[in-house]
Copies of this chain bind each other. A is one copy, B any other.
Amino acid sequence: MLNKKDLLLYLCTNQVRPITQALEEALAGGVTMVQIREKDASTQRFYEVACMVQALTRRYGVPLVINDRIDIALAVNADGVHLGQSDMPLGAARKLVGNSMFIGVSAGTLEQALAAQKYGADYLGVGPVYPTTSKADVPDALGTERLRVIREAVHIPVIGIGGIGPHNIRDVMQTGVAGVAVISAILSQPDIKAATQELRDALGCFPV
């Protein structure tokens, strides 16, 4: 099941190709959880990517989370699934995975956060904390104060997501979240392992 400390530095992949080399560098640099997301790939391609990534994350002892697709998560024995607000309703998802997988839910408002907690989410990804270019059509940034309000209103772990990098990661952690999720702060950097280590160093002073 979910170990809260694994949420510390959570890497989301966003249809990056080729993923394997970049991911291995990020794992070597110290990411603590990996989520893969393939909104446009065929099921066959997503399954193949998930199998490859599962082999890598297992080697590093890091949990693998599948975005949206519970069929893929079940097929590769992922550790968890992550559901957005347009994915399967949490109650239906829980029936499919039982307690064999943890379920994370994206929340952009306090109402969404409380609803996800009520229906059994194991953790929340809350954001965007800052403006981000990694995803299209995202709402306005919450800022750290609204992130703190949401974090304090729920008893399940929260991670911040959206526009987080080495320059602001401490501000996010000071809201009391369990960790941060990043995409481009790792995957868009010229030296992925070094960028990951820099983030881990910045996280070093926070208790988990």
A residues with a Cβ closer than 8 A to B are 42-45, 47, 68-72, 74-75, 85-89, 92-93, 95-96
A137 to chain B, nearest CB (A): 13
A43 and B87: CB pair below 8 A? yes
Assembly CA distance A45 to B85 (angstroms):
11
Contact B86 A47 (CB under 8 A): no
Instruction: Please state if B96 and A74 are interface contacts (CB–CB under 8 Å).
Output: yes
Chain B positions within 8 Å of A69 at CB level: 43, 71
Residue of B nearest to A47 (CB): B88
On whether the beta carbons of A45 and B86 are closer than 8 Å, the reply is: yes
Number of this chain's copies in the complex: 2
Q: Which residues in B have their C-beta under 8 angstroms from that of A45?
A: 86
State A95–B43 Cα separation when bound (angstroms): 16
Which B residues touch A43, using CB under 8 A?
A: 68-69, 86-88
Tell me if B75 and A42 are in contact (CB < 8 A): no
Give 11 A-B pairs besides A43-B88, A74-B96, A75-B93 with Cβ atoms closer than 8 angstroms.
A42-B86, A43-B69, A43-B87, A44-B85, A44-B87, A45-B86, A70-B71, A70-B75, A71-B71, A75-B95, A75-B96
The residue that A71 contacts in the complex, of B42, B47, B86, B96, with Cβ under 8 A, is B96
Instruction: For the complex, give the distance between the alpha carbons of A85 and B42 in Å.
Output: 10
Inter-chain CA distance A154–B43, complex, in Å, is 26
Contact for A86 among B44, B74, B88, CB less than 8 A: B44
A96 to chain B, nearest CB (A): 5
The distance in angstroms between the C-alpha atoms of A43 and B93, with both chains bound, is 11
Nearest-neighbor residue (CB-CB) of A91 within chain B? B75
Q: Can you list 28 pairs linking A and B with CB atoms under 8 Å apart?
A: A42-B86, A42-B87, A43-B68, A43-B86, A43-B87, A43-B88, A44-B85, A44-B86, A44-B87, A44-B88, A44-B89, A45-B86, A47-B92, A69-B71, A70-B71, A70-B74, A70-B75, A71-B71, A71-B74, A71-B88, A71-B96, A72-B88, A74-B96, A75-B88, A75-B92, A75-B93, A75-B95, A75-B96
